[in-house]
């Protein structure tokens, strides 16, 4: 079954602001929240669908790619995928907890006398690493054909000494005594409507559910250190200057085994020596002398794929455009490819020998050398 449009899922227009999208998602999340719809599989799927839509539309870079390529943007997978597909319930609550105003469920204490959602770890908070941005410079040939780039990235990586736990050894990690490992503390208040239960992040462990009694000597309890990683990036054919791609989970590592951030790849084009890109088309300015233009000739022109031989018809006028079908740049995730446009320019010599001048003076008054464009004028590109 094909995916629904993310804007339709959240019920917003394509011009909706970031705040409007956030409000729409919160409304959908509350409507289909598992605590409000216990045992309802359809509601759970709608809840996940709304979270998936917000994960894309709620981020400016992912929204930009979605607006341009639709669901195909998420198919530009580079060792992990562009986009946030396959989200489970724990992913949703860990990533979008701020939508509900804190950890855990916004419905605890309101349905069934405190029978709130008991998900793995309760309100345990999962740390998330920061995103990284890098620039990748590509030649026109690499853009046209797609390329795999291996880039060395300096970033935060899990500490090899403690395996990212931040503790000196396994015995140095213990369950938080304040929250009992849930990462959240609950408070029950008596009101005229009965008992109401509120949940907040545990102040002792900051929502992690565990505390460290003895820190790692290398990372000093952070679980991450500065390091270098060689990342293989598959650049699809047809990308353009300024386009951003995203590799999920390839950013900075998160403290103490959390979720790593994303790697944002900014595309830069290296100018070609002779070819100029115009969208998916490629333009080449070719200069020929007026003798070849008058008599006709065959010439070789550079293309993205090498050289191609073209025929110049006798009587070719300056400004004429010759089209080489399919010699341009392909569209991203498409079989369509642009053309190469060869722009004919007539070269006029600035210096002449005595013999050349005598020959031209003999032809100067010839009837065929008098301009006669007629009613139909050559169309310039």
Question: Residue 317 and residue 16: Cα distance in Å, rounded?
Answer: 51
User: Residues 61, 229: contact at Cβ < 8 Å?
Assistant: no
Is position 202 annotated in a ligand binding site? yes
Is position 295 annotated in a ligand binding site? no
Is position 170 annotated in a ligand binding site? no
Is position 265 annotated in a ligand binding site? no
Mention every residue, 6+ apart, whose C-beta is less than 8 A from residue 344: 286, 288, 293, 312, 316, 317, 318, 319, 320, 321, 322
Residue ranges of E strands in 238-349: 244-247, 263-269, 276-278, 281-289, 297-303, 306-312, 321-324, 340-347
> Cα 267 to chain center, whole Å?
10
Is position 243 annotated in a ligand binding site? no
DSSP labels for 53-82?
HHHHHTSHHHHHHHHHHGGGGGG--SSS-S
- The neighbouring-strand residues paired with 229 are 153
Is position 70 annotated in a ligand binding site? no
Integer CA distances (angstroms), 62 to 53, 127, 292, in order: 11, 21, 52
Is position 210 annotated in a ligand binding site? no
Integer CA distances (angstroms), 352 to 35, 240, 348, 356, in order: 90, 45, 10, 6
Residues 204, 210, 214, 217, Cα dihedral to 10°: -110
Is position 162 annotated in a ligand binding site? yes
User: Residues 10, 63: contact at Cβ < 8 Å?
Assistant: no
Integer CA distances (angstroms), 240 to 246, 247, 280, in order: 15, 17, 9
| Annotated binding-site members | 159, 162, 176, 179, 202, 205, 216, 219
| Annotated binding-site members for Zn(2+) | 159, 162, 176, 179, 202, 205, 216, 219
């Amino acid at each position: 079954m094909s995916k629904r449009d993310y804007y339709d899922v959240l019920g917003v227009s394509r011009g909706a602001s970031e705040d409007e999208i956030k409000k729409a998602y919160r409304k959908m999340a509350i409507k289909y929240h598992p605590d409000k719809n216990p045992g309802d599989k359809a509601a759970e799927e709608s809840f996940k669908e709304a979270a998936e839509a917000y994960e894309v539309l709620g981020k400016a870079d992912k929204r930009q790619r979605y607006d341009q390529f639709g669901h195909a943007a998420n198919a530009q997978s580079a060792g992990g995928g562009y986009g946030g597909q396959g989200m489970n319930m724990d992913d949703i609550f860990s990533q979008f907890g701020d939508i509900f105003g804190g950890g855990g469920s916004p419905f605890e204490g309101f349905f069934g006398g405190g029978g709130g959602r008991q998900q793995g770890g309760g309100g345990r908070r999962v740390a998330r690493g920061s995103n990284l941005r890098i620039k990748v410079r590509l030649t026109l040939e690499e853009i046209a054909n797609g390329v795999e780039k291996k880039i060395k990235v300096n970033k935060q990586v899990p500490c090899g000494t403690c395996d990212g736990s931040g503790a000196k050894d396994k015995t140095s990690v213990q369950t938080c005594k304040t929250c009992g490992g849930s990462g959240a503390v609950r408070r029950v208040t008596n009101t005229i409507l009965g008992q109401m239960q509120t949940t907040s992040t545990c102040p002792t462990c900051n929502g992690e559910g565990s505390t460290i009694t003895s820190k790692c000597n290398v990372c000093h309890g952070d679980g991450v250190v500065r390091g270098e990683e060689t990342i293989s990036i598959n650049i699809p054919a047809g990308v353009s200057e300024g386009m951003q791609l995203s590799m999920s989970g390839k950013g900075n590592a998160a403290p103490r085994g959390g979720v790593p951030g994303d790697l944002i790849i900014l595309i830069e084009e290296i100018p070609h020596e002779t070819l100029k890109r115009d969208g998916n088309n490629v333009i080449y300015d070719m200069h020929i002398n007026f003798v070849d233009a008058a008599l006709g000739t065959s010439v070789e022109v550079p293309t993205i794929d090498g050289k191609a031989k073209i025929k110049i018809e006798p009587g070719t006028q300056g400004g004429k455009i010759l089209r080489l079908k399919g010699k341009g740049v392909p569209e991203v995730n498409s079989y369509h490819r642009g053309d190469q446009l060869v722009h004919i320019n007539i070269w006029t010599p600035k210096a002449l020998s005595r013999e050349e001048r005598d020959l031209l003076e003999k032809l100067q008054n010839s009837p065929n050398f008098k301009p006669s464009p007629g009613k139909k004028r050559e169309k310039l590109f």
